[in-house]
Structure 1
Amino acid sequence: MANMAEIEWASLWERLEKSEKQLTEGNKVSRPKIQRIPAYMAEKPEFQRYYRPQVISLGEFHRNKETGQGELYKEAWAAMYIKHTNLKAVDLFEQLWRDKPKLYKLYDTDSDKVDSKSFIVDGCCVLELLEKSDREQELKISMDKLVRVHQDLLILDNQVPFKLLRLLCEDQERLQKCLCNFLQVHGIQTAPKLPRKRTENEEVKVTVDGDDDEDPVHLLDYLRKALLMRDQHTSNKDINNNEIKKGSLHLRKYRIGTIRELKAAGIRVTKNSHSNSMYPSFKDGILQLPELRVDGSTAHIFFNLVAYEMCPDFHNNFEISSFLVFMSSLIDQPEDVKELRMARIIINELANDKEVADLFNKMDTILVPETPLFAHIRDQIDLHFKSKRGRIKMLSWMREAYNTYFRSPWTIIALLAATLVLVFTSIQAWFAIHPKAS
């Protein structure tokens, strides 16, 4: 009986040690892979339109899902790129045959049935599209479809490895121009500079949340780097970690207050002069927010960046997700969007302010661990409220009175009439109490 117990214990201990080893290896900082959208996001009906390719499918997860016309566009654009760059097909196949195992390891999938032709078509198609990003006539496509194709390039599990783009475009300047075009299509004017091409055996330094000395993982990762170009430590240098209250480990939203509530409390909202930054700041009763252009692709960008930050192998600080949670707290009604638009913080290219408010209201479902930067801003706003409580109440009363009695000429006339009636009634009462001597 004792021997049996020892055998069972040895078996259990072996299994536990194996699990510990797998967990340790799985938590090593490594390059994130191209993987599927997290199920809890992809399965939400209101999010599905942002996670499904509309025209062209790339990579391994959506392969062969596009319409016949989508496949035709891909093959035609690939042929155009090979023709005007004078790429040699034999050399391409030889290079891809050597690098195919490395390329395929960049996908989070167990399948090993990869066709080199698919890699060539996908990579050349993307490069041709980026090189002629706004020339629909040369690409032989209508403008409305071209817009949808650019949205397809934003989808997390519809990416091609950046290593493949490097392989198919050895000209560093040409590749950098393609990436600049990609960002400009989505309203981002400043592009991170690509690091030099590394040699075959050169070790790549991998850090948490990326590094300026490493290539992006894919186009979506490059777009994220562009949005976060400003050094995060610059934004956090004034934050004393000892002053920040230790937050809950629960996933949460940041309840700060809408723009109208902040304005009623005497807080000014202005545009941050650092237009490349996604980081807000608060000081001396002034909340500075980055400029944000909202158009037809904004939802695709944000929802896919959130999905990317939620991937288990991507070690990051949830910068984009935290920013969106922050903004969704500030924006509740179209009137909040109007205030931000008047302050030139939001550039609205949608039909109306309600569409922008609806977009941020959808983001109410995003829950992330509270980050030090946003906890600091929340605490600073709370301190401002406490220190200015009396003045804030007076300003709120005056603003409410102004909105009630001076919002139109008729309310002003009514107030003056009521004041005159009160004055005359007071005079009449005085003379009734003190009659004039005869």
Structure 2
Amino acid sequence: MSMQYHTLRSIEVTNDELEDEQWVIDSIIKATPPSSSTARIHRAPEMVRETDDYKKYYVPKVVSIGPYHFGNEKLEMVEKLKPVFTMKLLSNKETLRSLYKKFGESQMVKELRSFYEEDFTTKFCNKEFTKMLLMDSCFILFYILYIFGGKHEDCRELKGHEIVFVHQDLFLLENQIPFKVLKEAMKVLEIDCVSKMKPFILDNILASGKPKRKWFDYVLRTRRDQCCRQEYEMEIIDNEPDHLLQLLHRTLTKNAKVPTKDSSTRSNYRCTFRNVNELVDVGIHFKPSDTMSLAHVEFFIGKWWFSANVELPPITVDDSTKPMLLNLIAYEMCSHDAHDAWVTSYICLLDSLIDHPEDVKALRKAGVLENSLGSDKEVAKLFNEIGTDLVPNSLAYSDAKYKIQMHYESWRNTLFSQLKHEYVKSPWAFFALVGALIALLLSGVQAYFTVWSPKSECDGLCTLLKNNHHL
């Protein structure tokens, strides 16, 4: 009876408790999900903005493009030059009026505002917003056509070091304008979008020069360039990018393979190889790929049973590499498609392959990496820092990494690795090994002829003398 009483008392609830419980339930039911931004030109993720590197790598140093950093006092000098460059580009008031009228259409302004986070566009009236995009687009086009095009005499207002930072600022995530604005401006100015944009984008694809062509490639070069132009034109016209950084990202990751069922299975396989030199020891050699897409990593069996080749996209490392990579990674973090994270996956792959300066040296000698930054130690540090806390696409390079792991685990390749470590890398040990093998070979030959030596003509005479030795 006592036990039953205590059980009943334990489930009794007071009115205050009931009210609290109902409040919790109502608050959960009435709660609305946080609004997700529909902006196509994003700010850097909050976790990035909270780091010490945010101002160093994500905030423009010379020129503000778009509303996110508009009004920054440190950027006022170039801001004052924008009207000058605009008039140099447009040359007359009629073209300026025509372009302003095009951008100032109510439907156009509404569409362009939707590219940005709302909090950063409400402070501009339509006239101010249109003026800002007009001058920013003219500034970018003037830079591409004249400064990047090599006509520096038309831009004496900017100093050499400022031009370098302008180039870097144009590919920051938070420093973009809609590509539609650039496209419309080039249409009004009757500028070929493809012929002018292509070299500007290709100059920033991180690759260490053009891949080497075989002799028969030169025969087809004209046709290939024409096809490449048509492909690039379709990329811009039929599938218009949101901004310059996205166009660069597409160029860097084009021809990415669609993951297969085998890729999903192999992505769960644990890779235990550690760095470049460890793979070189088991007969895996690195080569630059013919394509410059970061999505292209291939594994091929070599001419000998113990050797293999891994093709990696070539990359040049200099002072602009880190900010560009970080902004491309930040762009991928804002993307809703996880399969687009090829830059992140590529950096994670390099981070896993590079542990020491010797790994950088091996990739540099192989032609995969060009070091314009400084020492190999600095390059190794750069990739290790960028790769910290990054999460790659699990399916990226899964086929290639699986084949590398299988080659790495092979007992015969392990034996080859041990022999290489013990003898090949030490000259005296190698000579001792060769001497021992020669001695073993000669001993074997001697034993063979001792047991199975062929009969000669004097064998009969020797036998006769031996039998008659008592005479």
> Which category describes the TM-score, using the shorter chain as reference length?
0.7 to 0.9
For residues 382 and 91 of structure 1, the distance between their equivalents in structure 2, rounded to whole angstroms, comes to 57
Report the equivalent of 1:78: 86
Q: CA deviation at 1:53?
A: 1.0
Q: Identity of aligned pairs, percent?
A: 24
Displacement of 1:163: 1.6
**Other-structure match for 1:135:** 151
Task: Give the Cα separation in 1 of the matches to 2:64 and 2:401.
Answer: 42
User: 1:102 maps to what in 2?
Assistant: 111
Change in Cα spacing, 1:308 to 1:247, as seen in structure 2 (3 Å) is farther
Contact 2:339 2:393 in 1 (8 A): no
Contact 1:130–1:181 (Cα < 8 Å) also in 2: no
Tell which deviates more after alignment, 150-159 or 103-112. 103-112
Q: Distance in 1 between matches of 2:92 and 2:250?
A: 30
Q: CA RMSD in A?
A: 3.5
What are the Cα deviations for residues 235-268 of structure 1, in whole angstroms up to 9, with x where unaligned?
Answer: x56x6246425489xxxxx764211111112212
Answer with 125-134 or 91-100: which moved more.
91-100
| Partners of 2:281 and 2:310 in 1: CA distance | 14
Could you tell me which amino acid in structure 1 is paired with residue 419 of structure 2?
Answer: W
Residue 355 in 1 paired to residue 394 in 2? no
The verdict on how the C-alpha distance between 1:175 and 1:381 changes in structure 2, with shifts beyond 3 A counting, is: same
CA 136–8 in structure 1, closer or farther in 2 if over 3 Å, else same: same
Alignment size in residue pairs? 382
> Match for residue 431 of structure 1?
none
Is contact 2:279-2:408 (8 Å) kept? no
* Residue number among 126, 150, 160 corresponding to 2:140 in the alignment: 126
Spell out the pairing of 1:385-424 with structure 2 (5 A cutoff).
Answer: 385-386=408-409, 388-405=410-427
What's the secondary structure of 2:425's corresponding residue? helix
Q: Aligned with 1:396: secondary structure?
A: helix
Correspondence for 1:203 = none
SS class of match (2:69): coil
Taking the TM superposition and a 5 Å limit, the aligned residue runs for 1:29-428 are: 33-46=40-53, 48-65=55-72, 66-83=74-91, 87-89=95-97, 92-93=100-101, 95-98=103-106, 99-111=108-120, 112-114=122-124, 115=128, 116-132=130-146, 133=148, 134-140=150-156, 141-170=158-187, 174-186=192-204, 193-195=232-234, 213-233=238-258, 236=259, 240-241=262-263, 243-244=265-266, 246=268, 256-284=273-301, 285-311=308-334, 313=336, 316-386=339-409, 388-405=410-427
Q: Which has the higher mean CA deviation after the structures are superposed, 165-174 or 265-274?
A: 165-174
Q: 1:391 to 1:384 in 2, by over 3 A?
A: closer
| Partner SS state of residue 192, structure 2 | helix
Other structure's SS at 1:158 match: coil
Q: Residues 279, 184 of structure 1: CA spacing in aligned structure 2 closer, same or farther, 3 A cutoff? A: closer
CA distance in 2, matches of 1:46, 1:105: 28
Corresponding letter in the other structure for 1:384: H
- Consecutive unaligned residues in structure 2, runs of 5 or more: 1-14, 211-227, 302-307, 440-471
Pick which of 111-120 and 369-378 moved more. 369-378
Asked if the contact 1:294/1:348 (under 8 Å) is kept, the reply is: yes
SS at match of 1:270: strand
| Structure 2: distance between partners of 1:260 and 1:84 | 61
What is the distance in 1 between the residues matched to 2:232 and 2:80? 33
Distance 1:71 1:5, change over 3 A: closer
- In structure 1, the residue matched to 2:467 is none
Structure 1 counterpart of 2:160, which letter?
M
One-letter identity of the residue aligned with 2:115: L
Alpha-carbon distance in structure 2 between the residues aligned to 1:85 and 1:226? 36
Structure 1 length normalisation: TM-score?
Answer: 0.76
Look up the equivalent residue of 1:307 and give its one-letter code: A
Deviations 1:18-51 (Å, cap 9, x if unpaired)? 43xx67xx59xx7x52121113223333464221
Aligned residue identity for 1:119: L
Q: Which amino acid aligns with 1:274?
A: T
Distance 2:269 2:390 in 1: 14
Q: Is the 8 A contact 2:344 2:392 kept in 1?
A: no
Contact 1:230 1:277 in 2 (8 A): no
Distance change >3 Å, CA 348–CA 369, structure 1 → 2: closer
**CA 1:379/1:102 → structure 2, altered by over 3 Å: closer, same or farther?**
same
| Cα pair 2:294 2:342 within 8 Å, conserved | no
CA–CA distance in structure 2, aligned partners of residues 264 and 240 of structure 1: 28
Q: How far apart in 1 are the matches of 2:424 and 2:21?
A: 82
Q: Secondary structure at the match of 1:169?
A: helix
Instruction: Give the Å deviation of 1:146.
Output: 0.9
Secondary structure of residue in 1 paired with 2:177: coil
Name the amino acid aligned to 1:118. Answer: M
How far off is 1:143 after superposition?
A: 2.6
Letter in 2 for 1:303: L
| Contact 1:59–1:122 (Cα < 8 Å) also in 2 | yes
Q: CA deviation at 1:373?
A: 3.1
When Rg is computed on C-alpha atoms for both structures, the one with the higher figure is 2
